[in-house]
Amino acid sequence: MKSYKTIISLMSGTSLDCIDACLINIYDDLKFKVLDSYSLKYPETVKVRLLNLANNIGTVKDVCELNFITGDLFAECVNSLIEKAKINKSDIDFISTHGQTICHLPDKHSTLQIGDISVISYKTGIMTIGDFRPKDMAANGQGAPLVPFADKILFSADKNRLIQNIGGISNVTVLSKDCDIFAFDNGAGNMLIDYFMQKLFNKPYDKNGEIALRGNIDNNWLNEMLKEAYYKVTPPKSTGRELFNKAYAEELYKTAPSDKYDIIATITALTAKTIADSYINFILPKTNIDEVVLGGGGAYNKAIIKFLHNYLPNIPIKTHEDFGIPNKLKECIAFAYLGYFTYNKKPNNVPSCTGAKHHVIMGKISY
């Protein structure tokens, strides 16, 4: 009898670039092995319609229709991965899918992910588990973050570790023997850097941090930007495009230095400094930090890493790869674990991170 489950896990983030699929084994002792992966780019027309929905533009009919269209695309991504990996469908135990978030309203206790699991299960012929967030929110949680559940499995040790993700927003999970697992958003991650790269260099992002490393940090501007109230709020806290958006960036630009390399250097330093300050203000009073594990797109930015070393001179900084985890597939792997627990009828939220009143079995199943 095989002592593992073979899972295809699907993730699609708010950037709407592409759907990531990952073929993965999870064993009884919760170890994992990634066998293969595949990415499907969203068709431009679908991407535009999904972005509109995420901005609350669109009708009930649009929601209805796009729930099925994205379900079709998720299924297509799974089928392409199966073809690429040359495996039999019957060898796959289940699919686990995050879905595409089009609305998240913690204040109104509701959240909406689309990409119907019935469509995925029918078009792949494989049992599908998904739609995790509503159950945590029903239990009075924020429905987020969900990834710390996997962080705990992947990184728990006799050390105090921070799992620092730098995506559009930066967020950290604190795994420590001294306190309950907790997590919060530090502030803008790559979002502001990417905005200024597009504006000043006509590039989508600062590859390897090369532009930032050619500039100098303008400490006056940096200190001005650090006055943002969000950075002073005590966790639990979360943020997003509601705050760190285009209008916010344009407001910052008014007091920016003239040299465009200095602008990128300083805005990159802001990401590193807000992360470092959040450790000093909110984590170090509770627990010492043995090491930081960096993930997300920002883990490839050498300027961010350099600045983090400057601001946190005594803390070792590692990568997901140091632990055998492909950075790019981290979230996919996390949702494989979430599905694995739903499949086994075991709770999979982290109340100390989401604020939920109870441990619950998140997710829905379509045979």
CB of 367 to its own copies, least distance (A): 4
Contact set with its own copies (CB under 8 A): 53-54, 56-65, 67-69, 71, 102-103, 105, 108-112, 116-119, 121-123, 131, 134-135, 137-139, 342, 345, 360-367
Contact 154, 325 (CB under 8 A): yes
CB of 5 to its own copies, least distance (A): 17
Task: Evaluate the omega torsion of the peptide bond into residue 148 and state whether it is cis, within 30 degrees of 0.
Answer: no
Quickly list DSSP for 202-257. Answer: S-SS-GGGHHHHHS---HHHHHHHTT-GGGGSPSS----TTTSSHHHHHHHHTT--
Shorter beta-carbon distance to its own copies: residue 72 or 290: 72
Shorter beta-carbon distance to its own copies: residue 8 or 272: 8
Burial 178-202 (b: 16+ CB within 10 A, else e): eeebbbbbbbbbbbbbbbbbeebee
Shorter beta-carbon distance to its own copies: residue 235 or 355: 355
Shorter beta-carbon distance to its own copies: residue 54 or 243: 54
Shorter beta-carbon distance to its own copies: residue 125 or 204: 125
CB of 296 to its own copies, least distance (A): 26
CB of 126 to its own copies, least distance (A): 13
CB of 336 to its own copies, least distance (A): 18
Contact 181, 152 (CB under 8 A): yes
CB of 71 to its own copies, least distance (A): 7
Sign for the CA dihedral angle at 359, 169, 186, 250 comes to: negative
Shorter beta-carbon distance to its own copies: residue 195 or 340: 340
